[in-house]
Amino acid sequence: MQVSVLKQLRLFNQINADLKRIENELIKFVKNSEYPLITDSATHLLAAGGKRLRPAFALLSGKIYGYQIEKLMPIAMALELIHMASLVHDDVVDASATRRGKPTVRANWGNTISMATGDYLLAKSLGLIAMINNPQVSRILAETSVQMSQGEIQQIRASFDVNQSIKQYYYRIKRKTALLISASCKLGALVSGAPKREIWALGAYGHSLGIAFQIVDDILDLTADQQVLGKPIGGDLRQGIMTLPMIIALKTSEQKSRLRALLAKVDKTEDEILEAIELIKQTKGIEESRRLVDRYIKKAKNYLLELPASPTRNALADLAEFVGERKY
By beta-carbon proximity to a second copy, the closer residue of 94 and 236 is: 94
By beta-carbon proximity to a second copy, the closer residue of 3 and 107 is: 107
CB 78 within 8 A of CB 132: yes
By beta-carbon proximity to a second copy, the closer residue of 148 and 191 is: 148
Name the site residues for a second copy (rule: CB under 8 A). 32, 34-35, 37-38, 89, 92-93, 96, 99-101, 103-105, 108-109, 111-113, 115-117, 119-120, 122-124, 126-127, 129-131, 133, 135, 138-139, 141-143, 145-146, 148-150, 152-154, 156-157
User: How many distinct helices (H) and strands (E) make up the chain?
Assistant: 17, 0
Minimum Å gap between C-beta 236 and a second copy is 17
3-class SS string, 152-207: HHHHHHHCCCCCCCHHHHHHHHHHHHHHHHHHHHHHHHHCCCCCHHHHHHHHHHHH
Minimum Å gap between C-beta 184 and a second copy is 17
Residue in 94, 98, 97, 76 with CA at minimum distance from that of residue 86: 94
Minimum Å gap between C-beta 108 and a second copy is 5
DSSP 63-76: HTS---HHHHHHHH
Minimum Å gap between C-beta 198 and a second copy is 23
Residue in 295, 46, 316 with CA at minimum distance from that of residue 188: 316
Minimum Å gap between C-beta 27 and a second copy is 17
By beta-carbon proximity to a second copy, the closer residue of 54 and 301 is: 54
91 backbone φψ class: left, alpha, beta (φ>0; ψ -120 to 50): alpha
The helix (run of H) or strand (run of E) holding residue 41 is helix 36-47
Distance of CA 240 to the CA centre of its chain: 18
Minimum Å gap between C-beta 121 and a second copy is 8
Distance of CA 136 to the CA centre of its chain: 23
Residues in the chain: 328
By beta-carbon proximity to a second copy, the closer residue of 138 and 223 is: 138
By beta-carbon proximity to a second copy, the closer residue of 91 and 318 is: 91
Minimum Å gap between C-beta 105 and a second copy is 5
Kindly state the greatest CA–CA separation across the chain: 59
By beta-carbon proximity to a second copy, the closer residue of 42 and 280 is: 42
